[in-house]
Chain A
């Protein structure tokens, strides 16, 4: 019988399987960060349990680290306590920590692939919903809650109900592959299938338009699977995948043997059956801008903000949601997207703060300056991304244009550190969630790609970046 890529990974990780019960699934990689782990380690202590496989577990500090000068003491005492708690927990339980001053520190989903810890065909978990990012390598990677973090630490397994499969077939070729990015592809998909379109399913992104993407672009797509309701999204590995992971700090010694095995196994069989399927032609995709308070509330750059009725299409709940979103965002229907002025720009997050994202944004910014009404910042996804970008002189391009150039972390994607919007501030953000208050209480978020954010910073409002390139 034919099998999908997901089913193959699932089957090779079953520890216990019984009829009409969840299965016990083995976990190959467990990534840990400071926010969702303290209570899990506490649970281990109370019950006198150990971490079963420290050799399959790594930790970093990303959510509430300051992105300013780290030699200074932290002002926020609760953040500082949380960071110290993780440091102690890692020491007590023998877990490798990429701490606040480690050159490998960074957003957990950025450093996994960058260090060669992420592997095709593996199961990867982290107490963070954007773990789906690592599905770009053909892994079953998904976010878990703190109880499941504790369970994984103690047993290296999880009880899971087998998710259904959902094929996302992306065909055609982008008309302008610099200005129309993988962010625009995934936002277009979420716009169509909705924020709960993928609930209970694992997405598999397939087709020429996906093969065409670089690994970093693929990560952006898989990252936002959760915004479509899917705990995980994945892409079959190919030569680009194997090249990306080659010669990294933790690339396995028997890497070439592993590649041979992956090449033979890690793809959905021809004619394999998915529970659901959706096709999108990327040729028709324009740069996207979100206007509302969930990631399905998105418009083309050349479009206008829809009326609640246009958005809701007879669904009363959706119509009410759109009304509430427009009130929160302080926006009127029928306003052209390009006329929305902005106050802040955030280029960062696990969605869009890898080296290629920064290179593309810098291409737009070079030789220009940020609009005087806008304050803009770049927060690299990891210290390694920051270093590589500096080697290319990108920091200078951004700083010359009046962007702030920061240390790495989650930063204003969720504003757990001091990087937040003030009430009423409007931000063009390369992050993943435009929920009410996500970037700061009363802040208004518009999700865009790095090149769209960069061009908006210069212009002071959204522009069609296709005309800039």
Chain B
């Protein structure tokens, strides 16, 4: 995974609550057996009409936000299905950071596995960010979102932060613990399915 670097971008204000992963990437696009190319299907039913034409009133079709890397949204983002395709689609579309008052658990965890940073902020700060038109600077190292002379601090689990900043591979790290896994298997009553 590529290490997570500093991001300078305008914000895409996406003021919706309870956005479920069925909306982020509808089921008809889950049949691909690769991880890439999902961006063009992101929010498909909200972005396109029944004829497949872009809906002009949907924010992601507004060219202003074409290069935006930061999505600011409302509570319970990513609820529902566990499909990691939702994160693949957001990342492929260009979003590296998603900021919300709350995330669904599985979606939150899926973000980190793909180098996408989910940030939890209180409603007051979300409202502030939704209004910012200029570019902001997002620095994971110092845990700051900087705009003009102001900044907002954000919290993140230090373990996850290091993994993002260094772009570490989870499985490699776990395999370093192989001895402990073997010990666990030796000392615990694990029941094989096929005895």
Total chain B interface residues with beta-carbon distance under 8 A = 55
Contact A55 B17 (CB under 8 A): no
Interface string of A32-48 (1 = CB under 8 A from B): 00011011001100010
Contact B45 A436 (CB under 8 A): yes
Say if the beta carbon of A446 comes within 8 Å of chain B.
no
Contacting residue for B28 out of A253, A258, A416, CB 8 A: A416
Interface string of B65-103 (1 = CB under 8 A from A): 000000000111001111111010000000000000011
Contacting residue for A145 out of B27, B109, B185, CB 8 A: B109
Interface size class of A (residues with CB under 8 A): 35 or more
Contact A145 B82 (CB under 8 A): yes
Q: Give the Cβ gap from A438 to chain B, nearest Cβ, in Å.
A: 5
With A145-B110, A294-B20, A433-B80 known as contacts, the answer to whether A258 contacts B31 (CB < 8 A) is no
Contacting residue for B81 out of A15, A129, A199, A200, CB 8 A: A129
- Interface residues of chain B: helix, strand, loop or mixed (majority): loop
Residues of A368-417 at the interface with B, using a CB-CB cut-off of 8 Å, are 414-416
A163 partner residues in chain B, CB cutoff 8 A: 105
Interface string of A53-89 (1 = CB under 8 A from B): 0011110000110000000000010110110010000
Stretch at the interface among A146-154, A178-186, A272-280, A335-343: A146-154
Contact B22 A151 (CB under 8 A): no
Residues of B89-131 at the interface with A, using a CB-CB cut-off of 8 Å, are 102-106, 109-110, 113-114
B80 partner residues in chain A, CB cutoff 8 A: 129, 226, 433, 435
Q: Give the Cβ gap from B38 to chain A, nearest Cβ, in Å.
A: 11
Say if the beta carbon of B57 comes within 8 Å of chain A.
no
Residues of B162-189 at the interface with A, using a CB-CB cut-off of 8 Å, are 170-171, 174-175, 177, 180-181, 184-185, 188
B75 partner residues in chain A, CB cutoff 8 A: 196, 317
Contact A154 B30 (CB under 8 A): no
In the A-B complex, list the 4 residue pairs whose CB atoms are closest, starting with the nearest.
A147-B113, A145-B84, A38-B33, A145-B110
- Extra A-B contacts (8), CB below 8 Å, given A143-B106, A195-B76, A229-B104: A16-B177, A145-B87, A154-B174, A200-B105, A258-B191, A317-B74, A435-B23, A438-B27
